[in-house]
Structure 1
Amino acid sequence: MTPAQVTAAPLVPGHAKSWVVLAIYLLATAAASITGSFASNPDTSSWYQALNQPPFQPPSWAFGVVWPILYLLMAYAGWRADTAAPQANKSGLRLRYSAQLLLNAAWTIAFFALQSIIGGLIVILALLVSIIIWMLAARQYDRLAAWLFAPYVAWVTFATLLNGSYVLLN
């Protein structure tokens, strides 16, 4: 598909089926978020508190502010790209979206629940790659959808640096 053929999704769903697709993206993204929240509680985890933390570690409340915004942007971006993609390309786009969601939840499980900072680093590197892959695929159908993932890729890049710092410091 050439750049001139890129179409844009509407800003909001226009019909019932489109609302259902948006709801599915919101629910799937919320499921990843909830899975992650069950796997971690850094404020009360004695293991996490005992780790040597990098000097640029944000306060724990920052994660509670940033992640809900990122999850909403992710779901909206997923819906936009899905809406703009031709029917024949939807399954591949959905598979890529699902892969990054699974890795998103898997990082929290690896890092916090399994208390593996090296395992977390491996997962977050795969997550970062999967986010970029989804962005490149989505860009073919809706550029705004791809750009809506930019804060997510920035935050995960920062989180990758944090995770790498934990590996080096511990």
Structure 2
Amino acid sequence: MNYLASPGQLRASLLRWSLFTVPLLLVLGFFSGQAAGSGPGNPWFDDLVKPAIYPPPLAFPIVWSLLYAMMGVSLAMILSARGAGGRVLAVAAFVAQLVLNLSWSPVFFAMHQITGAFWIAVAMAVMVLITLVLFWRIRPVAGMLLLPYLAWVCFASVLTFEIGRLNPEADGAFGSSSAVRVEI
């Protein structure tokens, strides 16, 4: 037997999922950055030469908070689309890109692996694009909510590449000159 949910039930389901996914993503993103010692105040990062396209430091927590909130709503839209074809694959793609997302800060800020972080950012951009397409097929608005995230990840990839280009001696450096260096 097929059951049709009323518009009110659908909104309630989306709200319930959003109340779970938005805070979850905000907390995961916050802890990933905090655990890695990201941003200003990290002596290794502060000593890096930044490219001209580097935004003001305050932009990062603002942009990431907005992106994580939009990602959470987008994911909630897919989770609340019970019975939608491709839903499991879309959620799996989202989880894969999120794992890449959460691994970037520790690789870049804690491990000082600029090249590794660049390739993570590239893989993340590919996975976000795949996730966006899968989400769009289920709920177009859910896919649209990921467009700013894809744009930011592409920008972050360019920014990471430029930081690596401007600071080849810092790639993999933990304060010693014996670090292995990989060219981007």
Q: The TM-score by the shorter chain falls in which range? A: 0.7 to 0.9
- Cα deviation per residue 1:81-133 (whole Å; 9 max; x = unaligned)? 23236255332222111111111110111111111101100111111111001
Equivalent in 66, 70, 90 of residue 67 of structure 2:
70
Query: Whole-Å Cα distance in 2 between the matches of residues 96 and 12 of structure 1?
Result: 26
Matching residue of 2:145: 148
TM-score norm. by structure 1 comes to 0.84
Matching residue of 1:128: 125
> Who wins on radius of gyration, i.e. which is larger?
2
TM-aligned CA distance change 1:31 to 1:103, over 3 Å: farther
5+ residue gaps, structure 2, are 1-6, 168-184
- In the TM superposition, structure 1's runs of 4+ consecutive aligned residues that sit over 4 Å from their partners are 10-13
TM-aligned CA distance change 1:128 to 1:85, over 3 Å: farther
Equivalent in 103, 107, 112 of residue 110 of structure 1:
107
TM-aligned CA distance change 1:35 to 1:13, over 3 Å: farther
Counterpart of 1:14 in 2: which secondary structure?
helix
Shift of 1:36: 2.2
CA RMSD between the two structures: 2.1
TM-aligned CA distance change 1:164 to 1:87, over 3 Å: same
TM-aligned CA distance change 1:11 to 1:157, over 3 Å: farther
Aligned pair count reads 160
State whether structure 2 residue 19 is matched by structure 1 residue 23. Answer: yes
Shift of 1:160: 0.6
Matching residue of 1:54: 51
Query: Whole-Å Cα distance in 1 between the matches of residues 82 and 88 of structure 2?
Result: 10
Shift of 1:50: 1.1
Tell me, yes or no, if the aligned pair for 2:104 and 2:121 is still in contact at 8 Å: yes
TM-aligned CA distance change 1:28 to 1:11, over 3 Å: farther
Percent sequence identity over aligned pairs = 26
State whether structure 2 residue 30 is matched by structure 1 residue 34. Answer: yes
Quick check: 60-69 or 38-47, which moved more? 38-47
Counterpart of 1:95 in 2: which secondary structure?
helix
